[in-house]
Amino acid sequence: MKITALILVSCFFTFQLHSQSATTTRAEGGRTNAPARRDMAATVSPEVHADRTVTFRLRAPDAKEVKVSGEWPGGTKSLTNNEGLWSVTLGPLEPDIYGYNFMLDGVAVVDPNNPWVKPMRAARTSGVEIAGDPPRLWEWQSVPHGTVHEHNYFSKSLSAKRRLHVYTPAGYEKSSKEYPVLYLFHGSGDNDAAWTEFGRAHFIADNLAAQHKAQPMIIVMTDGHAFSGNPTQVTTNLIGRNVAAFGEDLLKDVIPLIESTYRVKADRDNRAIIGLSMGGGQSLGIGLRHRELFAWVGGMSSYLPDAEKAVDEIFTDTKPTLKLLWFACGKDDRLVENARQLSAALKAKGIPHEFKETAGNHSWPVWRRYLGDFMPLLFHDR
């Protein structure tokens, strides 16, 4: 009887969430957060208004406190309780895509009325988009569009099934042209779908190519979590082990897969590598140590442990010089000091590089702009 009761309660709660949820459509132009239909029982959240303010709502009659925390300026805001329906209106917000979640009596939860959840290892972030007028670089525009492919493969290096996403530029299917390749990595907790679903890398590439600001290129987006360790054992140096395992998979499995499947220019001058946060540490750590494979190396909000020592160890060989070493970090980012130390160590060693310190913190609104800055620099004489 107890099991039956639990099942009934679970089904009822699921039904309630679905009955309260507003239908959200995904048009060719991306996402809209406005519902396709409303009824008396619907709880609409988030609701984006014409003046770029956004109303968040959560029906939680037993809650004592509800907050919403997001990537917008100002961070966390409290919701007001109106007979069990909590709400708050923020903004106006700058046109962008913002990740957010609710704090329900101190517990982080996704917005149950919003089907847009960021691709992650553990779902905990919802998304809301504020459209720009004119559209911003990461928004859908009326230009030729490429295609995003999903690959499942077996990594011999890791003895595991893996997945990656690949963007091919507009016109790829109808031509015999070979393209340069950008290897693009996500941050900790995310997965290989994050850079298209949340970062909009494919729209950024489409728009830059249409504006003749960047070379058409193939973009490879991998799963950065190559080593998770044994949860029953104490694991030391998890970050270092993950970078090493990820590097093995990238060099021995991913690159051969890409170069045997797609029409790519398979030489160092036509390979670039960059990532954000954890992925930035991976791109710098792998790219700088394998300059025979990558001529273009970058990092966004990245962390390279013991930057001065790493630079001394990496640049003691006779490997080819880079065409570009580029990294960027926001002034309010917790990793900015490491980026400054890396830049100082490179200067002391006489290593040419570009370090961009910008406004912003450790968030996707910053990283979309960084990708838009990095791609135009690639695959041409400097």
Question: Is pLDDT at 21 greater than 60 in this prediction?
Answer: no
Closest among 277, 273, 218 to 250, alpha carbons compared: 273
Instruction: Give the pLDDT mean for 71-94.
Output: 95
Tens of pLDDT, residues 104-142: 999 999 999 999 999 988 888 999 999 999 999 999 999
Domain boundaries, the chain: 19-130, 147-377
Question: 139 is written with which tokens?
Answer: 């928004």
- Omega of the bond leading into 169 within 30 degrees of 0 (cis): no
Q: Residue 41: what pLDDT?
A: 61
Strands, DSSP E only, in the chain? 24-27, 30-35, 47-48, 54-59, 66-70, 76-78, 80-82, 85-90, 96-104, 107-109, 126-130, 147-155, 160-168, 181-185, 218-222, 271-275, 296-300, 324-330, 354-358
Question: Is pLDDT at 30 greater than 90 in this prediction?
Answer: no
3-state secondary structure of 12: helix
Closest among 279, 258, 281, 303 to 151, alpha carbons compared: 258
CA–CA–CA angle 65, 69, 74 (5° rounding): 115
In whole angstroms, what is the distance from residue 168 CA to residue 170 CA? 7
Q: Name 98's bridge partners.
A: 128
In whole angstroms, what is the distance from residue 72 CA to residue 58 CA? 19
Backbone phi, then psi, for 193, in 5-degree steps? -90, -10
Backbone phi, then psi, for 68, in 5-degree steps? -120, 130
Helix and strand totals (H; E) in the chain: 9, 19
Q: Residue 38: what pLDDT?
A: 43
Q: Residue 243: what pLDDT?
A: 80
Question: Is pLDDT at 351 greater than 70 in this prediction?
Answer: yes
3-state secondary structure of 310: helix
Question: Is pLDDT at 228 greater than 80 in this prediction?
Answer: no
Instruction: Give the pLDDT mean for 232-245.
Output: 63
Question: Is pLDDT at 23 greater than 90 in this prediction?
Answer: no
Of the given ranges (34-38, 335-339, 367-371), which has the lowest mean pLDDT? 34-38
Tens of pLDDT, residues 281-303: 999 999 999 999 999 999 999 99
CATH number for the 147-377 domain, one of 3.40.630.10, 3.40.50.1820, 3.90.100.10, 3.30.70.120?
3.40.50.1820
Contacts 24+ apart (CB under 8 A), 225-232: 225/121, 225/191, 226/158, 227/158
Closest among 220, 245, 261, 244 to 155, alpha carbons compared: 245
Q: Residue 1: what pLDDT?
A: 39
Tens of pLDDT, residues 210-225: 999 999 999 999 999 9
Question: Is pLDDT at 234 greater than 90 in this prediction?
Answer: no
In whole angstroms, what is the distance from residue 128 CA to residue 116 CA? 8
Q: Residue 264: what pLDDT?
A: 97
Q: Residue 226: what pLDDT?
A: 87
Question: Is pLDDT at 2 greater than 70 in this prediction?
Answer: no
Residues of the chain above pLDDT 90, percent: 76
In whole angstroms, what is the distance from residue 284 CA to residue 278 CA? 10
Instruction: Give the pLDDT mean for 294-322.
Output: 91
Question: Is pLDDT at 35 greater than 70 in this prediction?
Answer: no
Q: Residue 25: what pLDDT?
A: 34
Mean model confidence pLDDT for the chain = 88
Strands, DSSP E only, in 135-254? 147-155, 160-168, 181-185, 218-222
Q: Residue 316: what pLDDT?
A: 85
Q: Residue 13: what pLDDT?
A: 36
Helix pair 201-210, 364-374: axis angle to 10 deg: 40
Question: 155 is written with which tokens?
Answer: 């990594």
Q: Which residues contact 287 (CB under 8 A, 6 or more apart)?
A: 273, 294, 297, 298
Question: Is pLDDT at 31 greater than 80 in this prediction?
Answer: no
Question: Is pLDDT at 184 greater than 80 in this prediction?
Answer: yes
Q: Residue 230: what pLDDT?
A: 45
3-state secondary structure of 147: strand
3-state secondary structure of 279: helix
Sorting pLDDT into bands at 50, 70 and 90, what band is 365? very high
Sorting pLDDT into bands at 50, 70 and 90, what band is 42? confident
In whole angstroms, what is the distance from residue 160 CA to residue 175 CA? 34
Instruction: Give the pLDDT mean for 359-377.
Output: 97
Architecture of the domain delimited by 19-130: Sandwich (2.60)
